[in-house]
Chain A
């Protein structure tokens, strides 16, 4: 009875209902605008909600989180400019759908599947939080390093022309992430004596440059192309379509919940793993992947949506943030006198069930707000490019400046924008650059921890990669992924076929 009453707190309280709705709506638009991040919005909200009750603060922030994670897919589909790193995979098939005039259908599909997956993620949180947190805690430093490598390799192989170009882009992103002062030793890296560079380059600046400005410059080639009229008569996907993708959504949600539960790994890695899974498991898609396949849209969005619930698992059970937003939420809990950690669920179980109920409510509002307002968003695509391109430049500049009020960041946006434009023109994907910039520092830190625990012995480090079960699975997956993109795969397949025909 207590569980049910705590679940229903935000459903039955008008003010909490309003805060959850407002947070979700704001989150959708924050997530859609590159440069306005959900983390930034959540941080601002902490100061606004300082004097509020815990439930009110959590309702608003959770709504922004749920809406923001979804919102990044809007501009990914409409403009090929992901609003957040977790939407990089969505753009691969979402944007081609918009180019065929199917933006309304794409957004409707992502909204519905994101909501379904969100409920799966919340269900996993409610039913399996302790089990998943036990599993998540077994991941050690080398496993996180491998997860980062897999994420970058995945995005490098899923888009772009070749594995070499994907690896180049990913490594470039890692180097961008390395700029600044090393957190462990305070050693400067790639700063060239500049005090400004000692603070590093925020990945959002790189994202705005490589995706926003580069795309705007790229679109200058298509000025004469008439705006694509978007079909918005069918927004809500048919029941048969939902049924067709249902099990893919369930599997992608599982991936999202588990990866989301890994501290430091979030929707960006989860969405790529889910996209790769969809590509491997879908035989004969109606439309090829990369050209507007619905499966390529559904899987990453489902993983993204369920990763939200997953991110709350380590936060509530272990006091360890699942991602940047839950790190902010932990701050909010401290401000309100609570102590996130293993004792939270024992001392304040009502809080756990309140969060579960609130996330379910936010998901419902996501369905409502996500499916309405599509017409307004699709009008953006129908705008003349001559108006859209300068506006993207202005928004990109504001977004870059807004991160830290640092004027240097807007110059980085131009540099990255020009570099990203040339990379795109020569067949490189820019997604791996952003993933590299985000995951690079995490991989560096975990690599050095893993190497330190192997006492600097390379042989021991490499043998640890295959002796621990989780490390072994990740290492094998990484090697299969790498080798499957080389001629070795074709040779193995040919050899296998020859052996079969010989026998």
Chain B
């Protein structure tokens, strides 16, 4: 374990988010099976959620008192969007979400084809023939390995049902 934690200006905000999440988990765990019992189904989840809450309290304390942020809030927000969640990450997360959404509708092959082509173009920036070539080879290898060798059923979607 590293001895000196790295200073991250937006860490206090993240710590508070974790604390809120932990408290919500405790509240949810407490509601399992109505009346609490040490042998009931809610006991262990409540213990885990409580441990998570205690840990997040320590993390919040360290973030604010021991390792306080030294930059202004607006600058901290800038740091978040420059270093933690820059534009490239936002675009990739959106592309991944669209890819997964389209997989159940277009099927694995079509959705993976457009996803690979677009992400290779965006990240790699080679000419279109190289991009399409690598996309086609990648899809072929993945199909052979998963469908033919390991007999994994790939999502079919509505358009190309039964083709792959």
Contacts and interface: CB of A to CB of B under 8 A. Distances in A.
Contact of A168 (B2, B32, B52): B52
B124 interface: yes
A452 B65 CA distance: 43
A418 B19 CA distance: 18
B68 interface: no
A255 interface: no
A135 interface: no
Given A390-B115, A398-B152, A485-B1, A175 B43 contact: no
A393 B96 contact: yes
B49 A30 contact: no
A407 interface: yes
| Residue in B54, B100, B153 whose Cβ sees the most chain A Cβ within 10 Å | B100
A410 B2 CA distance: 33
Main secondary structure of the interface of B (DSSP, over half): helix
Given A187-B32, A390-B123, A426-B8, A182 B146 contact: no
B70 interface: no
Interface string A142-186: 000000000000000111111111111011101100100010110
B39 A452 contact: yes
30 contacts: A36-B152, A160-B1, A165-B59, A167-B55, A168-B59, A170-B51, A171-B48, A174-B45, A175-B45, A178-B48, A182-B41, A189-B32, A217-B92, A386-B124, A387-B134, A390-B119, A398-B152, A401-B152, A401-B154, A402-B152, A405-B153, A414-B97, A425-B84, A426-B11, A440-B48, A448-B43, A451-B38, A456-B37, A456-B38, A485-B1
Given A165-B55, A182-B41, 12 more contacts: A161-B5, A162-B59, A178-B45, A187-B42, A189-B29, A190-B45, A386-B123, A398-B152, A401-B155, A426-B14, A451-B39, A458-B38
Interface of A: 30, 36, 41, 44, 157-168, 170-172, 174-175, 178, 182, 184-185, 187, 189-190, 213, 217, 220, 223, 290, 384-387, 389-391, 393-395, 397-398, 401-402, 405, 407, 410-411, 413-414, 417-418, 421-422, 425-427, 436, 440, 443-444, 447-448, 451-452, 456, 458, 461, 485
